[in-house]
């Protein structure tokens, strides 16, 4: 408790300059102590990922965040390329691939669709949790703990600055909570999304254990 985590945010957005929501989110966590923001499209404009460098980064952090817009029910292309190349056999999985064991993985995504759109009755049919299963299973295979995702829904409806700022604040709060270990991990497991009950997840921790 209280021990600090090293957080690596792998950020993937092919047109950051046009981003209305992802940019404020990433700005909100930029420069935080113990938090490394790694902008993949900026670092590898030609998709030429430096595998060794990326693996060293992973080893040096214990909470990994994939932050990206939810493109076609998945990540932008570069993050998939990153997964394919960096999570090598013998490094991330396989009988000698234990480098990521015990680390935590969080998806922080933005979607145009509302929460209602992601259910059997909605036009996306599947829930966000179901659609994120490939990431969840990737974490599992690598011996990582997959956290309930941080999701910002209906980005097109967020017209007002203060609406976006609210999400950016939440994101910052969540990242700081993850970093400072002020999250009630047991309680968090019961929720579908990290930012759904953020205050609760972090606040309850404030109360001492004997309660």
Partner 1 sequence: MHNKDFFFQAFVYLMAAVLSVPIAKRLGLGSVLGYLIAGVIIGPFVLGFVGNEGSDDVMHFAEFGVVMMLFLIGLELQPFLLWRLRVPILGLGGLQVLVTTLLVTVLSLVFGLSWQIGLAIGMILSLSSTAIVLQTLNEKGLMKTEGGQSSFSVLLFQDIAVIPMFALLPLLAMKNGTTASLVANGVIFVAAEQQKASVPGWQQALLVMVTVGGIIVAGRFLMRPVFRFIAATRLQEIFTATALLLVIAIALAMQQVGLSPALGTFVAGVVLADNEYRHELETNIEPFKGLLLGLFFISVGASINFDLLIQQPLLILGLVIGLAIIKFAVLFGLGWLFKLEASQNLLFAFALAQGGEFAFVLFSFATKNNVLTTSVGGILVAVVALSMVLTPLIMLINEKFVQSRFVTTTVEREADTIHDNENPVIIAGFGRFGQIVGRLLIANGFKATVLDHNPTQIDMLRRFGFKVYYGDASRIDLLHTAGARQAKLFVLAIDDREKTIETVDRVRKHFPHLKILARAIDRNHAYELIRRGVEVVERETFGSALDMGVEALKLLGLRSYRAHRAGNTFKNHDEEALRELADIEGDHTLWVARSRQLAKQLEQLLRSDDEDLTHEVDRAWDISDLQKNS
**Residue ranges binding partner 1 (CB under 8 A):** 46, 48, 50-51, 84-85, 88-89, 93-95, 141
CB of residue 94 to partner 1, shortest distance in Å: 6
Q: Which is nearer to partner 1, 51 or 165 (CB)?
A: 51
Q: Quick one: how far is CA 21 from the chain centroid?
A: 15
Nearer to partner 1, 88 or 163 (CB): 88
Structure tokens at 109: 């995504």
**CB closer to partner 1, 44 vs 126:** 44
Shortest CB 90 distance to partner 1, Å: 9
Measured CA to CA, the distance from residue 94 to residue 106 in angstroms comes to 22
Q: Among all chains, which residue has been given the structure tokens 């659609």?
A: 131
Please, what is the minimum distance in Å from the beta carbon of residue 14 to partner 1? Answer: 17
CB 178, min distance to partner 1, A? 28
CB-CB contact of 70 with 108 (8 Å)? no
Of 33 and 51, which CB lies nearer to partner 1 in the complex structure? 51
Query: Between residues 44 and 73, which has the closer beta carbon with respect to partner 1?
Result: 44
Residue that has been written with the tokens 């940019």 in this structure: 23
Please give the Cα distance from 25 to 168 (Å, whole number).
5
Return the residue matching tokens 């394919």: 84
Tell me if residue 36 falls in helix, strand or coil: strand
Task: For the CB of residue 165, give the shortest distance to partner 1 in the complex, in Å.
Answer: 28
**φ and ψ of 9, to 5 deg:** -105, 110
CB contact at 8 A, 29 and 37: yes
Q: How far apart are CA 114 and CA 73, in angstroms?
A: 14
């Amino acid at each position: 408790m209280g021990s600090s985590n090293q957080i690596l945010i792998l950020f993937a957005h092919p047109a950051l300059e046009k981003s209305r929501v992802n940019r404020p989110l990433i700005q909100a966590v930029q420069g935080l102590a113990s938090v490394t923001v790694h902008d993949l499209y900026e670092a590898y404009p030609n998709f030429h990922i430096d595998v060794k460098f990326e693996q060293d980064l992973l080893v040096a952090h214990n909470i990994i965040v994939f932050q990206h817009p939810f493109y076609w029910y998945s990540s932008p292309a570069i993050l998939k390329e990153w997964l394919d190349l960096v999570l090598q056999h013998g490094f991330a999985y396989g009988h000698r691939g234990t480098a990521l064991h015990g680390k935590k993985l969080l998806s922080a995504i933005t979607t145009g669709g509302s929460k209602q759109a992601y259910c059997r009755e909605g036009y996306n049919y599947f829930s966000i949790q179901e659609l994120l299963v490939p990431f969840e299973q990737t974490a599992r295979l690598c011996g990582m703990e997959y956290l309930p995702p941080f999701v910002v829904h209906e980005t097109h409806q967020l017209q007002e600055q203060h609406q976006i700022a609210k999400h950016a604040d939440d994101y910052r709060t969540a990242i700081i909570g993850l970093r400072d270990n002020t999250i009630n991990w047991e309680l968090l497991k019961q929720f579908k999304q990290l930012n759904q009950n953020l205050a609760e997840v972090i606040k309850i921790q404030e109360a001492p254990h004997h309660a």
